[in-house]
Amino acid sequence: MKRILKSKQLIPICYPLFFISVFVVFFYSSFPEEAVKQRIIYEIEKRTPLTVEISNVSISPITRIKASGVSLYKNKELFLVIDELKGSPSLLYLIINKLKVPFEANLYGGGAEGALFYDLKNNKITKAEGRIENGIDIGKISVIPEVLGSENSLVQGILNGYFSLEFGNQPKGDINLTINDLLIKGVKIAGGFPLPDFGKMQSSFKSHIEKGLTKVDELKFKGSKIDLTLSGTMPLLWQITKHGTIDLSINLRADRNVGQTITGLLSAFLATQRDGTLGGKIVGTISRPSIVKQVVNNR
C-alpha cells in the first residue's frame, strides 16, 4: 500500500521533469548558433584591435559554448589561430551584474584554461586569469617572424606558464612564462646583422603589472653558449605597438665563439663588467631601440 502511495506522489513530479527535459532538448537544438557566433565576433572586434573569423559555434547544455576554427587578425595579418575554444558562463555571477566565463582553448599543439570576468554594467572585461599547459609550440605561431622582422627566421620552443591580470584604471597582475628547448636561427638585428646560433636554450619571463607598465623582473635566455638576462620596463603586453617605449638593462655572458661575435657587434655599446660579463641598456621604442653602455658595480 505504501509503495502505491509513493508511486502516486512521484507521478506528479515526473510530469514537470519530463516537460522540462523536452524543453531543454528543443531549446538547444533550435538555438540560433549563428547569432551567437556573430555576437562573439562583435564583442571581440568592438573591444580589441583584432578582427575575427569563426568557422563554427555550437551550444550544449548547460550554457556551454564551443567555437571551432577561431582566427584572429591584426592589421589584416593573421595574428593567432585557436583550434577550439570552449566557454561556460557562470550564471550565478549575474546576480551581482557580472559574468564569469571559465574557458578552455586548444591551440598550436597545446592548451590553456582559465576564466574571464566581465562587468555587464560597464561592458568591459575586468579580470583574466589562466594557465598555459601541455606546451604551446611557438614555432607554429606565424606572427613571430613578422614581429622579429625576419620572415626567414626560425623560432621554436614549448611555451608554458600562467597569468593573472586585473583591468582597471590602474591595471595590475602577474605574468610568468617559460619556454623549453628554445631555438633561434636566422634572426637579424642592427641593420641586418645575423645573430649567431646559440643552440637550444631555456627562457623565462617573470613580470608584474604596475602603474600602467609591465615591470620585467627577469627575461632570461640560458643555454650552453649564452646566458642573457634583461630587466626593466616595457608597455603592457596587450598594448604593445612598434612605438611602445622600452627601458631594459642587459647582462650578457657568452662562450668564447659566440662571445667574439657578440662582443664585436656590441663592444661599442656594452661595458665589460668586473666579472667578465657585458652590461648595458636597451632604450627607445620597440621599432627603434638603442643600446647604451652601463657600468655595473659587481660585488
What pLDDT does 258 receive? 65
What pLDDT does 15 receive? 39
Structural domain contains residue 286: no
Which residue segment(s) compose the domain that 87 sits in? 30-131
Structural domain contains residue 163: no
The residue type of 187 is V
What pLDDT does 169 receive? 83
What pLDDT does 108 receive? 92
What pLDDT does 21 receive? 42
pLDDT tens-place values along the chain, 299 residues long: 444 434 444 444 443 444 344 334 444 444 567 777 887 788 777 767 788 899 988 877 656 788 899 998 877 888 889 999 888 776 555 555 677 888 999 999 999 999 988 887 777 788 899 999 889 999 888 777 766 656 677 889 999 999 999 988 888 999 999 999 999 887 766 556 667 778 899 999 999 998 889 999 999 999 988 898 999 999 888 777 767 889 999 888 877 666 566 666 666 677 777 777 888 888 888 777 777 776 655 44
What pLDDT does 281 receive? 87
Structural domain contains residue 61: yes
What is the number of domains present in the chain?
1
Global confidence as pTM: 0.74
List the beta bridge partners of residue 86: 66, 104
What pLDDT does 162 receive? 95
CA distance 200 to 197: 9
What pLDDT does 261 receive? 63
Q: 37: Cβ–Cβ under 8 A, 6 or more apart, which residues?
A: 54, 56, 57, 67
The residue type of 88 is S
Structural domain contains residue 126: yes
Structural domain contains residue 228: no
What pLDDT does 163 receive? 94
What pLDDT does 27 receive? 41
Structural domain contains residue 181: no
Q: Which long-range contacts link 129-134 to residues 24+ away (Cβ below 8 Å)?
A: 129/162, 129/163, 129/164, 129/165, 130/103, 130/162, 130/163, 131/161, 131/162, 132/159, 132/160, 132/161, 132/162, 132/177, 133/160, 134/109, 134/110
The residue type of 28 is Y
What pLDDT does 113 receive? 94
What pLDDT does 73 receive? 87
Structural domain contains residue 191: no
Structural domain contains residue 165: no
What pLDDT does 10 receive? 42
